[in-house]
Amino acid sequence: MDLREAFGDYRYYLQMNEHRSPRTIASYTADLKRYIAYLEEMGIHAPQQISETDVQDYLIERSEESRPATVSRTLSSLRSFHRFLSLQQPGTLDPTRFLKGPHAALHLPRYLSRTQIEKILNSFGKEDLDIFHQAILELLYGCGLRVSECCGLRLNQVHVEQHVLRISGKGDKERMVPLHEEGMRVLQQYLRLVRPSWEKKRLPYVFLNSRGNPLTRQYVHQMIKDVLRSLGMDTSYSAHSFRHSFATHLLEGGADLRVVQELLGHSDIATTQIYTHVQDQRLKQTYDVCHPFAREEEEE
């Protein structure tokens, strides 16, 4: 059974068996349509393929564009859906079973280490497709872009001389995000050498595929899976993991949480606070190094 069939069965169950209001059923239905579309973009088409990490990544992405109450309701929708599937389909585990609440679900987003990022970005060759893929990943990690922002990036939003991208985020809010020198070099290489040969008609988007069509979220997700698989790395990392890595590495380097909030385009600092685990770890490390009692314990 694929996801859409499972959704159809669940919707029928809601209408016939659950004592819920029409408004609640409509909200759950809308939540699940969005959820299934997201999973399909990730290359997930069956309930058995969904992991707890997939659910967490989805909720984190929703938290960046929705109010806390909406995220809480979304989690309730997903729990109800997966509980139904686990009862209806033997052998199908419920990936939401260990998620205690929306705050717990958003805790500790998965991110790649600096070594892993370097391994990925250094793996590309000089072929057109390699340059194309590297440029995409340079922006996802180097600028912390959402996949939708990367796909929708326009040529007039790239300011080469200033090494800055002008990003139109959620709610049409604009932010200026710097891009490091190597990232800009790779992007320029793609724009100068690859994009002109792929462009079939004039389009405003930075990223066009080899057929001249605009980049899609599904392509990005599948490309990342393929790259990770070719390197023998964990393929459960998603495109959003590069954004998480961007934020985490900035905080590890000493960046202020408010600055990271601006760079990520979060309207609410509460959304950025899912990364406070990094600050907590840095505080503990500072304490262990600097506090005399902590040093004495190590010396004993």
Per the residue annotation, which of 58, 111, 190, 275 is the catalytic one?
275
**Global confidence as pTM:** 0.77
**Catalytic, out of 62, 82, 221, 243:** 243
- 4 catalytic? Reply is no
Which tokens sit at 204? Answer: 């405003």
Around Cβ 258, how many Cβ atoms within 10 Å?
Answer: 10
Residue 292: alpha-carbon gap to chain centroid: 41
Of 146, 195, 221, 249, the catalytic one is 146
| pLDDT value of residue 220 | 94
Grouped pLDDT means (10 residues each) for the chain, 300 residues: 92 83 91 94 87 85 79 91 90 84 58 96 97 98 94 96 88 87 97 96 96 93 95 91 93 90 87 71 68 60
- Residue 170 annotated among the catalytic residues of the structure: yes
**What's the CA gap between 166 and 174, in Å, rounded?**
7
**Radius of gyration for the alpha carbons in the chain, expressed in angstroms and rounded:** 21
Handedness of CA 98, 147, 85, 32 (dihedral sign): positive
Residue 291 appears among annotated catalytic residues: no
Q: Is 243 a catalytic residue?
A: yes
Question: What is the pLDDT, as a whole number, of residue 43?
Answer: 80
- Taken in order of first residue, the domains within the chain and their CATH numbers are 3-105 (1.10.150.130), 114-279 (1.10.443.10)
For the question of residue 282 being annotated catalytic, the response is no
Q: What is the pLDDT of residue 281?
A: 64
**275 is an active site residue:** yes
Catalytic-role residue among 170, 175, 225, 277: 170
